[in-house]
Amino acid sequence: MKILVINGANLNMLGIREPGIYGSDTYEDLKKLISKHAEEKKVDVEFYQSNHEGDLVDAIQKAYFDKIDGIVINPGAYTHTSLAIADAVKAVKIPTVEVHISDVTTREAYRQISYIREVAAKTIMGKGFQGYLEAMDFLIENRG
């Protein structure tokens, strides 16, 4: 099984950006944690991070041609704005779990809309980095 973990805007700045909200661990730490989990669960994992909306769309489309079995995606702020990313997830029909490090439901009003939620098989939020591991477990348990 091949899982692609996609992180969107500003998630390369983990550890630096708003540590009170996102914690002090870095994007590299996140990748290490996920790789270790993938090894334990005997699945392959790939990572992609971009700050650019169109590049995220391209990565989702590429997942189709690369025969990726599941996607874990935290689009960052594009969650709340991007119909293009949601359409890409819908287009490729790859089971996708939406992850947010923070609990967006308790934050600003403008974070209450998610275009990804309705195309995702599941949304996990407010669990820090652990949410990515739960998302992987969901994809592994529900693989077709």
Q: Contact residues for ligand DQA (CB under 6 A)?
A: 10, 74, 76-77, 79, 100-102, 104, 111
Q: Which of 111, 134, 8, 12 is nearest to 60 (CA)?
A: 8
Contact at 8 Å (CB) between 70 and 143?
yes
Nearer to ligand DQA, 10 or 66 (CB): 10
Using CA atoms, how far residue 97 sits from 91, 109, 116, 131, in Å, is 15, 22, 9, 10
- Confirm whether 52 is a catalytic residue: no
- Confirm whether 80 is a catalytic residue: no
Task: Provide, rounded to whole angstroms, the least separation between the CB of residue 123 and ligand DQA.
Answer: 11
Closest CB to ligand DQA: residue number: 76
Task: Provide, rounded to whole angstroms, the least separation between the CB of residue 76 and ligand DQA.
Answer: 3
Contact at 8 Å (CB) between 66 and 59?
no
Q: Which of 35, 30, 1, 36 is nearest to 13 (CA)?
A: 30
Which one from 37, 78, 100, 115 is the annotated catalytic residue? Answer: 100
Which one from 22, 48, 115, 132 is the annotated catalytic residue? Answer: 22
Rounded CA separation 10/34 (Å): 18
Nearer to ligand DQA, 76 or 95 (CB): 76
Task: Provide, rounded to whole angstroms, the least separation between the CB of residue 1 and ligand DQA.
Answer: 24
Catalytic positions: 22, 100
